[in-house]
């Protein structure tokens, strides 16, 4: 087997530094995003080996040509049955790497520029609708707080809804991230890009939280323990998202039988979106909602929240109550189109 060339080693080093240092330290990406990008590049390298017969001695910058990337996307779709959104995510990872390469090796900037010409796959996203306030009420009534598991699940759902946090932000909470105060209890979460947000809790949620900590963490809780931990591996390991999703779907299925607006496949993300929509219904300014959600751009929040039936009904009532002033007639009955429509007529020479 032939050994890797200097060119191969240079590109390999760029891949390694991009993944290990640049994405995390330079861009502030989370471990989850970094792992996703690493998997995408790993898949691309697998494709090059198996389909393009690229060995270590042949690995070079030219392997990231438009032709190879386009063939890779076809391979993802036809061989691995990847959805359009997954193909787009894999393409985004490659573009991110090539952008880094262009910064480190200006003579290779053409690789990144060419990659931007590749058309993304058309992705028809399934709309995630907000659940009504009534639907949320039915959902929260399903966990049996008299049992230990039910108390944990009710606590998790409550703090997830009140803070409108991402599920990973909630599961990453440690006891030291909670500050009880005589006026208001706050939690500090670390969001995307390692951005820190401090969020207040309602009194009802605070009381439930105090009961939960007493039941699950005892009288002398350890600050570094996870608030929601895995029973199998202990308080030093956080509860998994899969476990939360499984429990949530169980409660959602029960709530769906009582109230059709609760989807039987409710997700943590749907609860976050519902909270944002409810705040908008209550008249909370969109800027404050954006800060609560941890969005960098207001435009993201504008897409995120939706106009519910409640807001639409209020808007229509306001329109009906407005007395429209009578407008003077500006057009005359005429065979001339300009006069007929009431616009300025162009004079003939």
Considering the candidates 90, 238, 256, 272, report the single residue annotated as catalytic: 272
d(CA 212, CA 234): 16
DSSP state of 194: G
166 is catalytic: yes
- Report the alpha-carbon distance of residue 164 to residue 157 in Å, rounded: 10
Residue from 207, 215, 269, 314 carrying the catalytic annotation: 269
DSSP letter string, 278-328: HHHHTT--HHHHHHHHT-SSHHHHHHHS---HHHHHHHHHHHHH--PPPPP
> Is 197 one of the annotated active-site residues of the chain?
no
Which of 121, 192, 197, 217 is flagged as catalytic? 192
Q: What 3-state DSSP class applies to 122?
A: coil
Query: Annotated catalytic residue: which of 90, 166, 256, 275?
Result: 166
What's the alpha-carbon Rg for the chain, to the nearest Å?
28
C-alpha 327/C-alpha 120 separation (Å) is 49
Tokens found for residue 227: 């608030």
> Is there a catalytic annotation at residue 174?
no
Main-chain dihedrals φ then ψ at residue 290, nearest 5 degrees: -60, -40
Burial category of 100 from C-beta neighbours within 10 Å (exposed 0-12, middle 13-18, buried 19 and up): buried
For residues 227 and 229, give the distance between their C-alpha atoms in angstroms, rounded to a whole number: 6
Out of 152, 238, 275, 295, which one is annotated catalytic?
A: 295
Question: What is the rounded distance in angstroms from the CA atom of residue 174 to the CA atom of residue 177?
Answer: 5
- Known catalytic residues are 166, 192, 269, 272, 295, 304
């Amino acid at each position: 087997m032939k050994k890797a060339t200097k060119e191969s080693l240079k590109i390999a080093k760029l891949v390694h530094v991009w993944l290990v240092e640049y994405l995390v330290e330079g861009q502030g990406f989370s471990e989850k995003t970094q792992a996703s990008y690493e998997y995408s590049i790993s898949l691309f390298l697998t494709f090059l080996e198996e389909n393009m017969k690229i060995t270590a001695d042949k690995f070079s910058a030219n392997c990231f040509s438009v032709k190879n990337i386009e063939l890779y996307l076809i391979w993802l779709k036809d061989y691995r049955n990847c959805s359009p959104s997954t193909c787009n995510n894999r393409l985004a990872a490659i573009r991110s790497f090539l952008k880094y390469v262009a910064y480190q090796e200006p003579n290779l900037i053409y690789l990144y520029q060419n990659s931007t010409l590749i058309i993304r796959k058309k992705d028809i996203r399934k709309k995630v609708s907000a659940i009504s306030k009534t639907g949320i009420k039915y959902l929260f009534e399903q966990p049996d707080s008299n049992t230990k598991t039910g108390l944990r699940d009710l606590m998790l759902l409550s703090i997830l809804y009140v803070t409108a946090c991402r599920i990973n932000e909630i599961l990453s909470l440690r006891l030291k991230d909670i500050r009880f105060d005589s006026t208001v209890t706050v939690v500090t979460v670390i969001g995307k890009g390692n951005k820190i947000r401090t969020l207040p809790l309602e009194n009802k949620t605070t009381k439930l939280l105090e009961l939960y900590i007493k039941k699950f963490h005892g009288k002398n809780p350890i600050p570094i323990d996870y608030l929601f931990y895995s029973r199998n591996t202990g308080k030093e390991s956080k509860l998994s998202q899969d476990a939360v999703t499984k429990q949530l779907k169980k409660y959602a299925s029960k709530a769906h039988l009582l109230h059709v607006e609760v989807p039987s496949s409710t997700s943590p993300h749907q609860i976050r979106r519902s909270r944002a929509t409810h705040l908008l219904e209550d008249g909370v300014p969109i800027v404050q909602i954006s800060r609560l959600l941890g969005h960098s751009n207001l435009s993201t929040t504008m897409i995120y929240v939706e106009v519910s039936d409640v807001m639409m009904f209020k808007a229509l009532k306001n329109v009906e109550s407005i007395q429209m002033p009578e407008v003077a007639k500006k057009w005359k009955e005429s065979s001339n189109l300009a006069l007929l429509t009431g616009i300025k007529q162009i004079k003939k020479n």
